[in-house]
Amino acid sequence: MTTLCSDWITGDDVAACCAGVEVTGPVAFDDVAAAASELLFELSGRQFVGVCTTTDRPCSNTCGCPWQILSRGYVIWNPMGIEPWWGWWCDGNPCGCGALSRVMLSGGAISVSEVKIDGDVVDPDTYRLDERLWLTRTRPSADDDPNMWPACQALDLPDDQPGTFSVTYTYGEEVPAAGIAAAAELACQLYKACAGVECQLPAGTTRVARTGVVIERPAFLSWGWQKGGRTIPKGWNTGMPTVDLFLNAYNPGGLQREPVFWAPGRPRFAEHVGP
């Protein structure tokens, strides 16, 4: 299930949106920023998870066995199955003249910040990120020998030791500017509601749990999204202009998640890579 990776806004964003509102209470701006981010993530159909950083340790299940297993659950098959340590991740490309050495990253990679082999940082000019998915090994010119990724590694050692291989990269889906503005507006209203100040939220949609804010999603849905007729959909009408503009633009039908494709003959947790 898709989960929120990072908050859409910070407490400073809420403070800027609530400038001039003098309220006091137990709820901090950071609390309502997290609550508004979580709610709009859900109401927009879980499209924008935010941006996070992770470090993967690509490896085979045993050295020389043609499988790649990443720490976040993705598996690919290499039909060549060669070289137990170097040159193992290879697969053909119909547009190329030969096999490429590449690793499949997970989660929709945005940028690669660091790659280490044997504890040493790899020159970023010797690899590239393709299609937000593949970490591809490159070489300076056709006269140079191909560079290859390691096939296996010692997972019981930290990645600053010999015999290890790690990739640090950012992944996720950046939140559009409209979503950031909507989250700030909603968070400001949450702040005022929890502080006992008049706001645009109806009673029963929010409550304070310990040090955080909990939003009653069913109550918010029944108030904020209105089902239209056969010809003219009503869509979102919360009374908060920025929130309504964002939700009507990115999730006018009130879907709970993005549509997915599934077929009985398609593997669920594996991707077959090969000709």
Does the residue 96 lie in any domain?
Answer: yes
Q: Is 227 exposed, middle or buried (0-12, 13-18, 19+ CB in 10 A)?
A: exposed
Report residue 154 CA to chain centroid gap: 28
Q: Is the pLDDT of residue 224 over 60?
A: yes
**Residue 30 near residue 147 (C-beta atoms within 8 A):** no
Name the more confident of 62 and 104: 104
Name the β-bridge partners of 226. Answer: 235
The DSSP letter of residue 84 is: S
Q: Is the pLDDT of residue 214 over 50?
A: yes
- 249: pLDDT strictly greater than 80: yes
Q: 68 or 238, which is more confident? A: 238
Is residue 85 one of the residues assigned to a domain? yes
| Higher-confidence position of 259 and 13 | 13
In this model, does residue 231 exceed pLDDT 80?
no
Instruction: Report pTM.
Output: 0.68
Pairwise CA distance, residues 142 & 126, whole Å:
13
Higher pLDDT among residues 209 and 116, named by residue: 116
With respect to residue 212, please indicate whether it lies within any of the assigned structural domains.
Answer: yes
Q: What is the pLDDT of residue 139?
A: 86
- Compare 66 and 183 and report the one with higher pLDDT: 183
Say if residue 268's pLDDT is above 60: no
3-class secondary-structure state, position 213: strand
- Residue 268 covered by a domain: no
* Residue 83 burial (C-beta neighbours within 10 Å; 0-12, 13-18, 19+): middle
Q: Who has greater pLDDT, 162 or 228? A: 162
> Within 10 Å of residue 59's Cβ, how many Cβ atoms?
20
Quick one: pLDDT at residue 39? 87
6 falls within a domain: no
Amino acid (1-letter code) at residue 155:
L
pLDDT at position 75 is 43
Question: What pLDDT was estimated at residue 93?
Answer: 57
Structural domain range at position 79: 52-174
Given this model, what pLDDT does residue 152 score? 83
Number of domains in the chain: 2
**Does residue 271 lie in a domain region?**
no
Instruction: For residues 163 and 197, state if they share a domain.
Output: no
* Residue 211 is assigned to a structural domain of this protein: yes
Q: What is the mean pLDDT of the chain?
A: 75
Q: Is residue 217 part of a domain?
A: yes
